[in-house]
A and B are shown apart, each in its own frame.
Chain A
Amino acid sequence: MSLWEYANPKKFTETTARVLPVVVPLAGACLLAGLIWGFFFTPEDYKQGSTVKILFLHVPAAMMAVNAWIMMLVASLVWIVRRHHVSALAAKAAAPVGMTFTLVALVTGALWGQPMWGTWWEWDPRLTSFLILFLFYLGYIALWQAVENPDTAADLTGVLCVVGSVFAVLSRYAVKFWNQGLHQDSTIMKVGEKDPLDPAYYWPLIFCLAGVVLMFVALVLLRTVTEIRLRRLAVIEAREKFE
């Protein structure tokens, strides 16, 4: 069995119908468990008080904001190199999902930043690169809407995706590249090390991260199938016009 079999729209749609009934409940269960555990059953942080509960939304959303763009990059490169329509449609389907997660990360970041840093916004490297990533998402979606020919739209958005990847990478590593600004570096992998994430927050966060990844997979599959069907619908309607 080859991965390229899934470039066949029929095969992709059939596989999605089998995968979704497993992924959707798993995503719901992980998210529900993580959020309930995180909101109701974690202690206040000694420095940040109850605002630490924003962690369970902000971190998974920020992680998916970047990873969604990376997924779009891979799908766009597959389109550019191998011309598989399903991969271009998967990239198109993922964009609103990634944009929503970026917006969630920006909004929760501002709501968290105000009481902790004393400001809603700061032109800090990580915050700024996330804002630019959000603008790239908007531009990407707008470009798909603006170009009538779907193959040309896939080509142009593919190039935009490659360019935007610079900001996706910057968003993730901005804190490491420029050791300045307000935003701290990740502490998820530092349990047991210096300046770690307290273990009380670790497991609910892992559940939220898993839930968000699974929800992203489910949404992208569902939306890609919708795009495949829209293409088929457009072909039938065009044929009807000529008959």
Chain B
Amino acid sequence: MMPELGKYAFAVLSSYAVSLGLIGGLVALSVWRYARVKRALTAAEARLAKGKRA
């Protein structure tokens, strides 16, 4: 299944590893930050609504 990369295996495999690592890291960080901010805003809006009712 694995293609024969010959003497260029290091260049090809490290290109894929670095690229997928960087892009995967960016995606993971963006999703994690999105979820964290959403949770924090929901909590803050709940506090705000509670304060208005009181």
Contacts and interface: CB of A to CB of B under 8 A. Distances in A.
Interface of A: 39-40, 44, 49-51, 53-54, 57-58, 61, 96-97, 100, 103-104, 107-108, 111-112, 114-115, 215, 219, 222-223, 225-226, 229-230, 232-233, 236-237, 239-240, 243
Given A40-B3, A96-B26, A240-B47, A50 B18 contact: no
Nearest to A100: B26
B33 A104 contact: no
Contact of B23 (A53, A104, A223, A243): A104
A50 B9 contact: yes
| B contact residues, range | 20 to 34
A243 B51 contact: yes
Which of B9, B30, B51 neighbours the largest number of chain A CB atoms within 10 Å of its CB?
B30
A51 B9 CA distance: 8
A230 B44 contact: no
B16 A39 contact: yes
B18 to A, nearest CB: 5
Contact of A232 (B3, B19, B33, B41): B41
Interface of B: 1, 3-9, 11-12, 14-16, 18-19, 22-23, 26-27, 30-31, 33-34, 37-38, 40-41, 44-45, 47-48, 51
Contacts of B14: 111
A112 B26 contact: no
Contacts of B33: 223, 226
A206 B45 CA distance: 44
26 contacts: A39-B16, A49-B6, A49-B8, A50-B3, A53-B15, A57-B16, A58-B15, A96-B26, A97-B26, A104-B19, A104-B22, A104-B23, A107-B15, A107-B22, A111-B14, A219-B26, A222-B30, A223-B30, A226-B33, A226-B34, A226-B37, A230-B37, A233-B41, A236-B41, A236-B47, A237-B44
A233 B3 CA distance: 50
A114 B11 CA distance: 8
B34 to A, nearest CB: 5
B40 A112 contact: no
A50 B34 contact: no
Nearest to B35: A226
Which A-B residue pairs are the 7 nearest by beta carbons? A50-B5, A236-B44, A57-B19, A108-B15, A54-B15, A100-B26, A51-B8
Given A114-B11, A223-B30, A233 B44 contact: yes
B40 A108 contact: no
A111 B18 contact: yes
Contacts of B19: 57, 61, 104, 107-108
A51 B51 CA distance: 62
Which of B7, B9, B37, B48 neighbours the largest number of chain A CB atoms within 10 Å of its CB?
B37
